[in-house]
Chains A and B, each alone.
Chain A
Amino acid sequence: MTKPEQPPAPLSRFARYFTTTGWVHAILLLFAWLFFFPLLWMAATSFKTDEEIPEGALLPAIPFFHPDSPYVRVPVPAQRPADVTPDRWADLLPILTDHASLHILAIQHATPKLNFLAPIDESAHRASAAMILVNSAVAQLNKDLWVGPNFTFLAAYDALLTPDAINSALRSSLAALDLLSFQLHTLDAHLYTLTNAPDFATTWQVESGPARLVPTPGGTLLSYHFTDSTPIILRHSFPFPAGVSSSDLHKLILAIQSDNSWHHVDAQLDLPDGSHLSSTRTTYLAQFRPMSFLFQPPTFDDQILRAKDWIPLRKNGDAASFSFPPSQATLRLFIHPSSTPRAIWGKIVRNYLRAFDAIPFWRYLANSSILVLLTTLGSLFSASFVAYAFARLNWPGRSAAFLLLLATMMLPPQVTMIPGFLIWRGLHWYNTLNPLWVPSFFGTAFFIFLMTQHMRTIPKELEEAARLDGLSPLQSWYYIILPNIKPVLAAIAILSFMSSWNEFLQPLIYIRDQAKFPLALGLYGLKVDQLNPLAPDWSLILAGDVLMTLPVLAVFFLFQRYFVQGMTMTGMKG
């Protein structure tokens, strides 16, 4: 509608803004959110740990600074069994909790206190353990007991509060750094256990830092209390087993129970042959579960394309002479405190670093980049070149050829795959990247069709003028047509970039050697690798997917400005 000459009442600034451009922003923001959501979901999931995946929350938990360990874990919520009514549950829960607390208190009094560096709050510990105890006991009760009289119910409940159950609850409600075992693996696959759990307290030393090794029933834990950024240095000097020399060492395996403090760990190793090695990857004390550190000096493992799931040790000068008697090796663990930002950073990068180590990422990226570059160049050239013949020139058989071009898209590719393979095989291009990019230089029907449709809209007069100027067809294609097809060239560049970037089936069929994989196929290794196919490592897979998506996003962001530029560049002013 035409604008009214005089607006009846001055609109507020906001209303004016909204009626002109605001509504566009509003709609676009809505779409942008709908479209952005999956990326957010992917990214959020890629930061999660194994423990968080089953919880189903959208965002991962934020780690924060833990000065002390052991520390009491946050109590878990009580879980009502499906057959119990909410009212009954509300009545009974306080009683159940009290009973549990009382039983725990008795055990707490009866057991000797461990000599922790920072004493733990016993009542908080009790409260946290009580919830675990309530949940585990309630889950075992027959549903009929809940509707019966209180005394039979409580008798059955109390019977489940056994010392074993209580001790287990006390243990699970406390986050602690337990040292479980220390083993040496030789290159000929022999495994020697050097330290068992109870022996850590006697054979390992805290060299410096605010920590102490505390013997526990059946094991050893490291109690610490950080006040500043001084790291804890844990040292262990050990002789190599008889008949094993420094050059036989494959890896050292230290099994621990982690305390989810996100403190970061580095290591140094002095070998009997006098070499001094330091870790080149920082690890984090993530999650509450048993895990192990694999320390590995350079071996044949570094030469092959396998997942690097160990902490590499690299030569770093010769060992300081004073640190050990000859024929002994010394391992030093440096536990640095992670402040809250450092812990968050550690959590963000953790799965990404794992993804980089799990596959030869940079090699795959290089393969993909060169493929994408060649394919995009090829598509741009062939589409603009061939479309010129279809759109701008008059020749016999043009319509038939055009239909043939379209027809090549209509036959399902599944039935031409094997004859196609035979052709490339005949050219001796099996197991090379060539079958993946060469075809783009001969033109893709989809792009030629798109380009033809666009070229047909360019006015004839433009070329007539050029021809009068004496330009050859090639010059006319280059000087007249190309500047006018920039928006479509940009579209083709993006589409062909994307399809070759994500191409999976072709490289799977044509490439045999892992070293030649492009990224899309290489990342697939993350899915089949690692674990059981039925318990996939989702955070690792999604970290890989995010890494895969980011370059495309960047390229799109850079190219999309050609859609605006195209308008001013087109020479259609006359």
Chain B
Amino acid sequence: MTLNQRALRHRGMIPLWTSVLLAVVLLIILALWTHQSTSTATPDGRETIVYWGGYNPTTGQDIYSVINAFEQSHPKYKVIMGNATSPDSAIDTQRMLCAVSGGVPPDVVWFDRFAIGEWAARNALTDLTPYLNSQRPEDPYRIDLNDYYNWAVKETSYTPPNSPQNTPGIYGIATTTDLRVLIANSNLLRQEGLVYPGTTTPRPPKTWEELKDYALRLTRFKRPGDPSSGITRLGFAPNFGNSYLYMFAWQAGGEFMSPDRLHITLDSPPVVRALHYMTDVYDELGGYPHVEAFQQSFQSDAMDPFIRGDVAMKIDGAWALESIARFDRDMDFIVSPAPIPADRLAAGHEPITWGGGFALVIPATAKNKKGAWELVQYLSSRQAILRIEQGKREQRESEGRLYMPVGLGNRKIYEELVKKYVDDNPAMPATFRKAFALFKQMMPGTLFRPVTPVGQLLWFQHVDAYEKGVRHKNADIAKAAGIDEMQYTLAEAQAPVQRMLDETLTPLPPSTRVNWTPWFIVYGLLCTLPFIAIYITYRRCRLSHCYNSREVLTALFFASPWIIGFICFVGGPILFSAIFSFTRYSVLTPAHYVGLANFRQVFSDPLFFHSLSNTAYMMIRIPLMMSLSLFIALLLNRGIRFLGIYRTLCYLPAILPIVAVSLLWFWIYNPNQGPINQTLSWLFDTRLFLWLDQLITHLGHYDKPFHFTPPLWLQDESWAKPSLILMNVWQSGGGIIIWLAGLQSIPEQLYEAASIDGASKFRRFLHVTIPMLSPYILFNLIIGVIGTMSIFDESFVMTRGGPNDATLFYAYHLFRNAFQFFQMGYSSALAWILFLIILTLTLLQLSLSKRWVHYDQT
């Protein structure tokens, strides 16, 4: 047959060269289009200021009007609005770290004040003191820090703890703030008779002791008086809302760092006392897991239990009013300062609150610092803030929502806003007015989290200690050692923070600083070595004709896209991450070699083993997902009607946006309202299960009658991982199309031949389908192991590693180290250990596969 004849046999196809030409033309057009649509606007002679903070919930849409007004009053600047800042600083950190280390930092950033200590300690932010001091008195946009709440200024100030310098640098200008108060449902207090004598005015608790008493009196259980039967209404739980151990520790007079900020004091007596108090309240309410199950069953404000009257009191941020205003603005509630211990109240201490918020900062490497400072000044000015707030008011009201002013670091403007929009607004319900009166009164004395290079780790460890404490995780160890349980827990949580603080404060000698240049040469050599190896192998083999030179060249030609891509984009980062693993590297400061220190640290890190075993546990999902998707694929591979619709529907779970899916599963797993537990509780109350209860009680000789109870799913340490696996199995639709592709390539004649031989359906499946699918099975196994070992999204999007680190997966652990604790070096060491584990598993699978995988290449 000639070439022409051959081509005729493929009449249906476009000739090769035509399609190559078409593809190239199409590609050029598209690439030009993207290039055009992505090239930045032509310069118009103005200096640019890059502002990250664009629209966000606290500025609202009128930030654009304000920026427009800024450009008009400062004609030499052009402001480029950066991305929407996500409400999650963890995502933002990745973006910030990339931009800063890549030399394309923004000029002004709307930044979480909580993170200022960490960034300022690593010299990543500009000290604004010189700018503040050089302001002319007649400057219309002059920033006067005396107008600001003292604490909001302190939260943006940092000085290294061991430095002789006394006046700290100011690294940001505070924008918004929040604070925490006790919010109570007035009617529930009235029903319980918790009112001022002789009136119907509800009386808020003033002391810890009263608070606990209120909590117990207002709580209702499914079976009255039996905490184990489940909570139907929660009076109060220490951490429902937003208070954390920080709040209670401050109430007890505690601090988290010594005054010189060199020592973590998480295990000091007042903090221990606070944790004891929180635990006691939980224990008396029936134990932390029960309360947690109840409080976590409300994942979104759409079903805010406080508004529904399912929770009587909570300590929460001022923002909680926002949701009351939105869903039930007529609700009767009172706001009061959170109670403090009775002895401290008697000793004359005032109730306290703690707050946080945002600030405008200028990165140390910003290109246009002068313009940035002018923008900061403008955005902090009264006119800009009033304009933003007016815009927010109009927007809220156009959507039928109540507008309330946001808390501000600038006291003068905040009080003006409260007067204008709350006190003088006849449409504002009286409940909200009273709340704002209290906010105004408490704002000046607000406490804030310590400004330290290890703030994030301290926060995580404090949450961890709280979770362990209220669950009595260390009760046995502490008892055996004869020390206080909470003291032990807090001391344990404090150790890593102290270590990291010491480490951060002791600089490494300059001689250990990494010089990157030689590594580029190493990389160049590493890239050429394989080609030399290929050539040598080829030469050696030539005589025995194991390789055909034409074929080798053809192969390199076909593989070239990947080879080029690997050398240019993939290999380099891999090598560099390997080098990181031998350094101490925070990304913001230069890397220093530390030898094997990171790897030594891995094996003393309890979370390393914990997260690794969590990850290994998830392996269970691989066979489940594979078999379900194969089963569905087999059904879908039949010639039946509506196939297209079935296929599309079965694939649906894989294409839905993860945020929507996680919302849905939160609802499905909801321990109280979720459909699964609704069904289970109905089932467990049927006669059969009641009889089984009795039987088990009888056989098991329990001291308490046994009763089947539905699991708490994502809120239960032992059920959290199975819950995620169940969700993954539901999502396994993505696998279906790979199986289908495989099933389609099995030649029909094999089945025909088998049925002629009298093979049953099952035997045909076993002896035709399975062997023919074996390459796909291997593919799914290898991909499944890789995907499971680096599982990340589930803990990142859904559980944040909780409850009590039960879903802290390995990749999430290393992510937290890299981007939240600024330990890129340690994180890389973790990554390479994971790499070695996965590589071993894969090699094992590949070597075993030779026995069972069937390729048509005999």
Contact = CB atoms under 8 A, between A and B. Distances in A.
A556 B555 contact: no
Residue with the highest number of chain A CB atoms closer than 10 Å, among B398, B556, B568: B398
Given A35-B652, A385-B561, A552-B655, 6 more contacts: A185-B394, A389-B554, A394-B555, A412-B831, A418-B102, A453-B779
User: B34, B427, B580, B740: which has the most chain A beta carbons within 10 Å?
Assistant: B34
Contacts of B857: 456, 460
Interface residues of A, number: 179
A508 interface: yes
B815 interface: yes
B159 interface: no
B558 A385 contact: yes
A20 B433 CA distance: 71
B454 to A, nearest CB: 20
B778 interface: yes
Interface in A525-541: 525, 527-536, 538, 541
Interface string A522-562: 00110111111111101001100100110011001100110
A262 to B, nearest CB: 14
B856 interface: yes
B56 interface: yes
Contacts of A420: 569, 573
A200 B66 CA distance: 33
B327 A532 contact: no
B747 A389 contact: no
B552 A396 contact: yes
Interface stretch (A66-74, A101-109, A306-314): A306-314
Contact of B636 (A28, A374, A487): A28
Interface string B279-294: 0000000000000000
Contacts of A419: 572-573, 576-577
B415 interface: no
B689 interface: no
A64 interface: no
16 contacts: A24-B640, A27-B635, A36-B649, A38-B652, A50-B401, A191-B390, A306-B55, A377-B23, A381-B561, A393-B552, A411-B835, A419-B572, A450-B738, A487-B740, A512-B80, A528-B87
Interface string A399-421: 01101111111111011111111
A385 B193 CA distance: 78
Contacts of A286: 400
Contacts of B655: 498, 549, 552-553, 556
Interface stretch (B252-260, B297-305, B493-501, B707-715): B297-305
Contact of A143 (B33, B102, B191, B832): B191
Given A140-B200, A545-B659, A35 B302 contact: no
A417 B570 CA distance: 10
Interface in B1-47: 1-3, 6-7, 10, 13, 16, 19, 23, 26-27, 30-31, 33-35, 37-40
A566 B7 CA distance: 20
Q: Looking at chain A's contact residues, is the secondary structure mostly helix, strand, loop, or mixed?
A: helix
A7 interface: no
B786 A287 contact: no
A387 to B, nearest CB: 8
A418 B551 CA distance: 38
B83 interface: yes
Main secondary structure of the interface of B (DSSP, over half): helix
A564 B737 CA distance: 12
Classify chain B: how many residues form its interface, as a range: 35 or more
B95 interface: yes
Interface string B769-802: 0001001101100110010011010000000000
Given A395-B534, A415-B580, A479-B16, A534 B50 contact: no
A561 to B, nearest CB: 7
Contacts of B1: 469
A287 B400 contact: yes
B322 A532 contact: yes
Contacts of B645: 32
A406 B673 CA distance: 44
B326 A409 contact: no
B80 A408 contact: no
B3 A443 contact: no
A512 B97 CA distance: 14
Interface stretch (A87-95, A240-248, A329-337, A428-436): A428-436
A39 B262 CA distance: 53
Nearest to A493: B737
Contact of A290 (B300, B308, B397): B397
Interface stretch (A119-127, A231-239, A292-300): A292-300
A502 interface: yes
A439 interface: yes
Given A410-B839, A414-B818, A528 B654 contact: no
A456 B55 contact: no
B838 A410 contact: yes
B648 A560 contact: yes
B839 A396 contact: no
B216 to A, nearest CB: 15
B842 A410 contact: yes
Contacts of B54: 514
Contact of A529 (B55, B556, B644): B55
Given A189-B387, A443-B565, A525-B55, A563 B323 contact: no
B653 interface: yes
A401 B83 contact: no
A475 interface: yes
A394 B652 contact: no
Given A512-B83, A549-B656, A475 B831 contact: no
B740 A393 contact: no
A398 B533 CA distance: 12
- By CB atoms of chain A within 10 A, which of B2, B383, B651 has the most? B651
A386 B55 contact: no
Contacts of A36: 649, 652
A2 B757 CA distance: 11
A289 B534 contact: no
A528 B652 CA distance: 26
Interface string A507-521: 011011110110011
A442 B86 contact: no
Given A393-B558, A396-B547, A416 B573 contact: yes
A86 interface: no
A206 to B, nearest CB: 24
A441 interface: yes
Interface in A246-272: 251, 253, 255, 258
B747 A572 contact: yes
A508 B538 contact: no
A11 interface: no
Contact of A395 (B551, B576, B782, B786): B551
A425 B34 contact: no
Contacts of B572: 419, 423
Which of the listed residues A21, A31, A50, A469 has the most CB atoms from chain B within 10 Å of its own CB? A31
Contacts of B57: 528-533
B779 A449 contact: yes
A415 B831 contact: yes
B784 to A, nearest CB: 12
A567 B748 contact: yes
A324 interface: no
Contacts of A41: 664
Interface string B93-118: 01101110111101000000000000
A483 B13 CA distance: 9
Contact of B657 (A381, A549, A566): A549
A417 B96 CA distance: 12
Contact of B91 (A292, A410, A508): A508
Among B106, B303, B565, max chain A CB count under 10 A is at: B565
A67 B3 CA distance: 78
A282 to B, nearest CB: 15
A572 B20 CA distance: 26
